[in-house]
Structure 1
Amino acid sequence: MRERLIDALDALAGRRTVVVGDIAADEFLYGRVARVSREAPVLILEYDTTLIVPGGAGNAANNVAALGGRTSLFGCVGRDAQGARLVEALAAAGVDARGVVRVRGHVTTTKTRVLAGGIHSAKQQVVRIDRKGELVAPRTVHEAWGRRLDVALASCDAVLISDYGGGVVTPALVRHVKRTLRLRKGRQIPILVDSRYDLGRYQGLTASTPNESEVEAMLGVRIGDDRRVLERAGRTVLQQTRMAAVLVTRGSRGMALFEADRPTVHIPIVGSDEIADVTGAGDTVIATVTQALASGASFEDAAHLANYAGGLVVMKRGTATVSRAELRLAIEADR
């Protein structure tokens, strides 16, 4: 399998992926613990620096670019400082952000994580502050894209839908993407969806990559270590969404791949189970699966590549990406 995965990895370069979805700003505020406040039982931090990186669909697009893919991102941000910095960061990462609309009056969703530690210790997250604007009017965003989305769809190798509940992604938009891709001749273009709150409203796409908690919430079950419950849950999601494959990510328990008329593939976690940070790991997984399918890989090989990528990214602090070089080293080192 190692040689097959290396071949699949080499095929990722240059594949064109269109990413559509909700973009957020992941803000990391770093400080050093100075002392305990006399005003309240809280720590006083001496401010060090602030880092803002793309989250949500922006992180998925960044991961596609890090894997050597060519990606066009469609979404929206506000006309605020966070939105401006996001557009700059995306361009610096090699993402085509011409489809990112800056909406007047819209507040860019920002997730601020405050990390603190000593001079000689790793910074640990002590609090997270979420700033969310109202749901964006999808028609406003879709009309602002104009023909750019259809032009991008005309030459892409895959489409990644990232639905964080911000309003950009709608069933009507997904139906439009499907209709547009059907007009193309040649092989079928894979469409993948990562929906954090309502996976059930997307039907008949290529694949989805929900985590175990999302599956439990969707079906009202508790999976835990019970393989029989996992099997029923995965098959139920597969049936209800009418997708070709469902890849359930299970944290330290690895992954489970469900395909119609094929036995379930259980993939154990690779690397260390001492996780440093799971921020954005789901974006890395679906980006890797999407790129692999774009290059013609099987669902199983795509899942194995994503398993390596997920194992690498959770060992990094903050919202991070994984490169093809890192993936190659991890595959070659795995005995």
Structure 2
Amino acid sequence: MKRIFLDLIDHMKNKKIMVIGDMVADSYLEGKISRISREAPVLILEHTGEKVVPGGAANVVHNGATLLGKVYAVGVIGLDSAGELLNQRLQQVGVNTDGFIIDEERPTISKQRIMAGGLATVRQQVVRIDKESKKPLSSHTEQKLLEYIRRTLPHMDAVVMSDYGSYTVFDTLKKNVIDWCNERSIPCMVDSRYDILSYTNVTLVKQNESEAANAAGLPDLTGQRLQEAGEKLLEQLKARAVLITQGAEGMTLFEQQGKQTHIPVTNISEVYDVSGAGDTVVVTMMLAIAAGADFFAAAKLANVAAGIVVRKSGTATTNPLELKQAIGDQFDETR
């Protein structure tokens, strides 16, 4: 079994995967605490640096690239520094960003965190400033997205739609992508924060506990409600599989014919930061399926990948070397 997973990781390399979704620039503005302002009871920070890291669907893209998949990113950015920096960051790790449509009338979705700290103080977030348009995409931008996807999708081994509710994955796009994938037997996975029930006939669905409970009309997923939610989503969406991530409890995979498999989390005592772990799960699973894995093997490998990134700070990624080491450690512990 160990050899199977190690070979699977090798076969994931260069698999073509398209990631469609809300591309976010996560910005961190760093400052050293200087003094209290005379104008108001607030800190004065001396600027020490700034970095932009991929967030939202761009984190899915980034994870796929560090796992050595050949990733095609599709989304909308603005004609601004955030979009330019995000584009550059992804290109640096080998991502194809030809599918980035520039819309001059809307900003790149960005979340700027002001971080304060010093030699004798703990670094912490002071405030976060979010920037995004609350309006749907223009018909021109929608058409450009659809044209790129229609032209490029037939060459893909797998497709992911990462919907954070910021209009990139609009209704016509959802239907067309799912139809085009089904026509060509290309596996397609969706991770939608607010609107999962609109993705009928998609191959795979990923939801966290709160998202799944909300979609199934349940207060929570305790006891038998987890099974109820998984089976309900599987039936309503006519999907082949539904994966519900459960934080410290691991994840549960629901497949057709009533098959249900729970995959426990690894090394729970070492969890540091769960930010973006769901994105890691999605892209690892789809790269594994593109490499020939069944749903269970792909979910198990994705669980191992998530176990790596939650031990890192922020929206982290993993790579084949770390994944192989974690697989080796896990099988050694079960002997």
Corresponding residue pairs, total: 331
Distance 2:126 2:251 in 1: 29
Distance 2:123 2:194 in 1: 30
Deviations 1:16-36 (A, max 9, x none): 001111111111222344566
Match of 1:209 among 176, 192, 206: 206
Distance 2:236 2:183 in 1: 26
* Bigger shift: residues 150-159 or 274-283: 274-283
Deviations 1:53-72 (A, max 9, x none): 22122111111111111111
Shift of 1:157: 0.3
Where does 1:320-335 land on structure 2 (aligned, <5 Å)? 320-334=316-330, 335=333
Contact kept? 1:275, 1:315, Cα under 8 Å = yes
Q: Give the TM-score normalised by the residue count of structure 1.
A: 0.91
Distance 1:111 1:264 in 2: 37
Change (3 A) 1:28 1:265: same
Shift of 1:181: 3.5
SS in structure 2 of the partner of residue 7 of structure 1: helix
Shift of 1:317: 1.8
- Name 2:243's counterpart in structure 1: 247
Change (3 A) 1:177 1:248: same
Shift of 1:298: 0.9
Distance 2:219 2:270 in 1: 24
SS in structure 1 of the partner of residue 229 of structure 2: helix
- Name 1:234's counterpart in structure 2: 230
Where does 1:1-335 land on structure 2 (aligned, <5 Å)? 1-34=1-34, 43-119=43-119, 123-137=123-137, 139-145=139-145, 147-184=147-184, 188-223=185-220, 226-334=222-330, 335=333
Distance 2:45 2:36 in 1: 9
Distance 1:5 1:71 in 2: 21
Distance 2:257 2:181 in 1: 26
Shift of 1:183: 4.6
Contact kept? 1:165, 1:196, Cα under 8 Å = yes
Distance 2:73 2:59 in 1: 10
Q: CA RMSD in A?
A: 2.2
User: Structure 1 regions of 5+ residues with no counterpart?
Assistant: none
- Supply the AA of the counterpart residue of 1:230: L
Shift of 1:169: 0.9
- Supply the AA of the counterpart residue of 2:128: R
Contact kept? 2:15, 2:70, Cα under 8 Å = yes
Change (3 A) 1:10 1:216: same
Distance 2:208 2:145 in 1: 31
User: Structure 2 regions of 5+ residues with no counterpart?
Assistant: none
Distance 2:281 2:262 in 1: 16
Distance 1:147 1:237 in 2: 30
SS in structure 2 of the partner of residue 123 of structure 1: strand
- Supply the AA of the counterpart residue of 1:219: A
- Supply the AA of the counterpart residue of 2:192: S
Distance 2:310 2:34 in 1: 28
- Supply the AA of the counterpart residue of 2:188: I
Distance 1:42 1:275 in 2: 33
Change (3 A) 1:309 1:125: farther
Deviations 1:270-313 (A, max 9, x none): 12444332222221111111111111101111111111111111
* Bigger shift: residues 149-158 or 75-84: 149-158
Contact kept? 1:30, 1:123, Cα under 8 Å = no
**Identity in percent:** 40
Change (3 A) 1:179 1:202: closer
- Supply the AA of the counterpart residue of 2:8: A
Shift of 1:159: 0.6
Contact kept? 2:248, 2:268, Cα under 8 Å = no
SS in structure 2 of the partner of residue 329 of structure 1: helix
Shift of 1:106: 0.7
Q: Give the TM-score normalised by the residue count of structure 2.
A: 0.91
Shift of 1:41: 6.1
Shift of 1:84: 1.1
- Supply the AA of the counterpart residue of 1:195: S
Change (3 A) 1:250 1:116: farther
Shift of 1:100: 0.1
SS in structure 2 of the partner of residue 110 of structure 1: strand
SS in structure 1 of the partner of residue 68 of structure 2: coil
